Amino acid sequence: MTMDADDESLLEDLLAGKHRALARTISKIENRSPGYRDLVSELYAHTGDADVIGITGSPGAGKSTLVDKLAETYRDRGETVGVIAIDPSSPFTGGAVLGDRIRMASTVGDMDVFVRSMSARGTLGGLSTATADAVKAMDAFGKDKIIIETVGAGQNEIDIVRTADTVAVLVPPGSGDDIQTLKAGILEIADVFVVNKADRDGADRTVQELRDMVQLGDESGAAGGGGHHSQEVIDAHDDWDGETDADGDEAEDWTPPIVETVATKGTGVETFIDELANHRAYLVESGTRAEKVRQRYAEEIRTLLREDVHALLEDELDASGGINGLADAVRRGETDPYSIANDVLAPVEACVENLETEPDEDGSSRE
């Protein structure tokens, strides 16, 4: 792939740590502007150092306030932060509804906290391919921590797993409905549970319900989505040292801690950050992080192939009279959807077969 001179200059400025270049790069990615693919391709060689943290949970759980305090505390520790706040899409423009700085009052003016609001664009869970590419831009830029805050769309938040190394699920106190939602599917993706607004009535009960749920999930095998749950709800992570057994297998799985916070006051934020660090250490020393990255790239490849093949097929359909014309033909009984699909896919299948039988440079067949 080759980039034009403007994109080459943009990449150089991004890698040199210029925030304006980072903003322009993410805009180019989000808008899918010409050349964005070549630009993103060049970013891969400069990624892999940042911690990517997903913050998800039901609306009203206090995600934005907690993200604000996380960023502030990381900065106090001397680390740079990138925040991607996935907002509901405007029905008029498709853009993000909420503004960047509304969410991040504590870090206004701090150039080492880069906040970007992005539109969910109708993607379940609030994450689109553009968001994953924006994470790469922040990673290549050199941000130490990248935080993704999602819309809060219930079970569909599972999409965040494909982008984040560590996923924190926020649960407000005193809501049995939220616990039931977790049971329906988010248990599998939580690396850390956070009961925010823990100074409110019902917080203790919510913590206990989470403990019971996690324990039940372990006994039923339902919590094995990431292979990291062996549930005895904890404070044991401080002592985890990444030991393996004689065969090199993990000596123990990760047990999601339950952290209580009051984000508006900063209470419990340090403990939360420590648990995030513990999970990061677990991922690295157990070898789980490498597997997560492999799965992430596999999903990216599948997504790109789906998008590209879909675009190719749309062109083929247009050449055949357009989808509406074909649908009318089906309505009139002249053909059927299966026959149309076979006809449209025939040239694609022929191209694939030709590639499989095409001789290599040394004259040998690829078959």
DSSP labels, 256-317:
--EEE-BTTTTBTHHHHHHHHHHHHHHHHHHTHHHHHHHHHHHHHHHHHHHHHHHHHHHHHH
Report helix angle 203-220 to 176-183, nearest 10. Answer: 20
Does residue 21 come out as left (phi exceeding 0), alpha (psi in the -120 to 50 range) or beta? alpha
* CA distance linking residue 147 with residue 53, whole number of Å: 5
Q: Which two tokens stand for residue 181?
A: 């939602």
**DSSP run (H or E) holding 222:** none
pLDDT in tens, 18-71: 999 999 999 999 888 999 999 999 999 999 999 999 998 877 788 889 999 999
Phi, psi of 331, rounded to the nearest 5 degrees: -60, -35
Burial of 310 (0-12, 13-18, 19+ CB in 10 A): exposed
pLDDT at 180: 64
pLDDT at 143: 97
Instruction: Provide the sign of the torsion angle of the four alpha carbons 312, 315, 317, 319, taken in this order.
Output: negative
Cβ atoms of residues 255 and 237 within 8 Å: yes
Cβ atoms of residues 298 and 291 within 8 Å: no
What domains sit in the chain, N to C, each tagged with a CATH number?
Answer: 47-286 (3.40.50.300), 299-357 (no CATH)
**DSSP run (H or E) holding 338:** helix 337-357
Report residues of the chain scoring pLDDT below 50: 90-97, 99-103, 122, 124-126, 155, 222-248, 250-251
Residue closest to 40 by CA, chosen among 160, 148, 166, 139: 139
- Please tell me whether residue 78 adopts helix, strand or coil conformation: coil
Cβ atoms of residues 128 and 121 within 8 Å: yes
Residue closest to 4 by CA, chosen among 41, 45, 34, 49: 34
pLDDT at 246: 36
Q: What is the tally of helices (H) and strands (E) in the chain?
A: 12, 7
Cβ atoms of residues 147 and 165 within 8 Å: no
Indicate the pairing of strand 81-87 with strand 166-171: unpaired
Residue closest to 152 by CA, chosen among 115, 108, 196: 196
Q: Where are the alpha helices (DSSP H) in 124-226?
A: 129-141, 176-183, 203-220
Cβ neighbours of residue 220 closer than 8 Å, sequence gap 6 or more: none
Q: Which residue has the tokens 């997903």?
A: 54
Q: Which two tokens stand for residue 337?
A: 């959807």
pLDDT in tens, 103-155: 455 565 677 999 998 876 545 444 568 889 999 999 999 999 999 998 765 54
- Please tell me whether residue 111 adopts helix, strand or coil conformation: coil
* CA distance linking residue 237 with residue 255, whole number of Å: 8
Q: Which two tokens stand for residue 187?
A: 């248990």
pLDDT at 237: 44
pLDDT at 79: 96
Share of the chain above pLDDT 70, in %: 72
